[in-house]
Amino acid sequence: MKTLKNHTLIYDNECPMCTIYSKAFTRCGMLDDNGREAFTEISAAHKSIIDSTRAKNEIALIDHRRNKVVYGLDSLLLIIGNSFPLLEKIARIQPLYWFFKKLYSFISYNRKQIIPSGNDHREEACVPDFNLRYRITYIAWVVILSAYVLSVFSGKLGVNGSYNFWRELAVCIGQIIWQVVFLKAYLKDKIWNYLGNMMTVSLIGTILLIPALLANFTPVFYIIYFGMVVLIMFLEHIRRCKLLKLNYLPTLSWTLFRITALAFIIWLSF
């Protein structure tokens, strides 16, 4: 690997994804051993160079020789392109560059909903600005994926269930509407943050269901497996509410809807 010297990457040390890939850059020699610095531990000299607000949304890379800063996807392409010039050239071709830039923003603006931290409430924390477009896109993406996987999984439960994407889509959308209606007054300005975390709980459950779809087991197995996944989702929902400094009300409301929806689906199946 060719080392990009005299550069410092300012990464979000409260974000596991940012920590992993920035550490990989230094370990494989694409950056110097001291080529990265945590946002919450940034030196005064570096803080005076970067746009702190923008650096929360897009990872910053400082070029010490030119006293210049690049952000987001461009910073990653600069590091990668120093070792693999062809990859950078390909990634900068339109519309690939447009796609990767949108993908980067999609992940960056939702990263605290994907993997929250107990320190996100601190003033010096590297928390991205709220972006309504990317939050709605994230919620919609999880809703569609969850509805599809659940529709396939429901056909394996052996309770007269059948593949019905639109039914599962209605349940997923209904969950969001239910939580907004019953919790809007309680959640107040945390509503979008909570919804993002709630959808990540659904995403975790969806991902856990996928392996079971790759083989054929008895309906009893699928019922037990589904129960275990729901339990994991329940515990994860509680954990995330604690990180958001919320009480058990969102979890109780979330559970009530899940039970009501499941009972209604079973009733319709007979």
> What is the tally of structural domains in the chain?
2
pLDDT at 270 over 70: no
The pLDDT assigned to 162 comes to 64
Q: Judge if 175 and 141 occupy the same domain.
A: yes
Angle, CA 179 vertex, CA 176 and CA 183 arms, to 5°? 145
pLDDT digits (tens, 9 = 90+) for 103-135: 999 999 999 999 998 888 887 889 999 999 999
pLDDT at 269 over 80: no
Locate tokens 């991902």: which residue? 207
Mean pLDDT for the chain overall: 93
Please indicate, yes or no, if residue 119 is contained in any of the structural domains: no
Q: Judge if 139 and 72 occupy the same domain.
A: no
Share of the chain above pLDDT 70, in %: 97
The pLDDT assigned to 229 comes to 97
Locate tokens 């079971």: which residue? 212
Q: Are 22 and 36 in contact (CB under 8 A)?
A: yes
The pLDDT assigned to 124 comes to 83
User: 56 to each of 64, 69, 131, how far by Cα in Å?
Assistant: 20, 14, 13
Please indicate, yes or no, if residue 13 is contained in any of the structural domains: yes
The pLDDT assigned to 155 comes to 80
What is the per-residue DSSP string for 196-230?
HHHHHHHHHHHHHHGGGGGS---HHHHHHHHHHHH
Q: Judge if 232 and 153 occupy the same domain.
A: yes
Please indicate, yes or no, if residue 41 is contained in any of the structural domains: yes
Q: Judge if 53 and 17 occupy the same domain.
A: yes
Please indicate, yes or no, if residue 126 is contained in any of the structural domains: no
Structural domain harbouring 210: 132-269
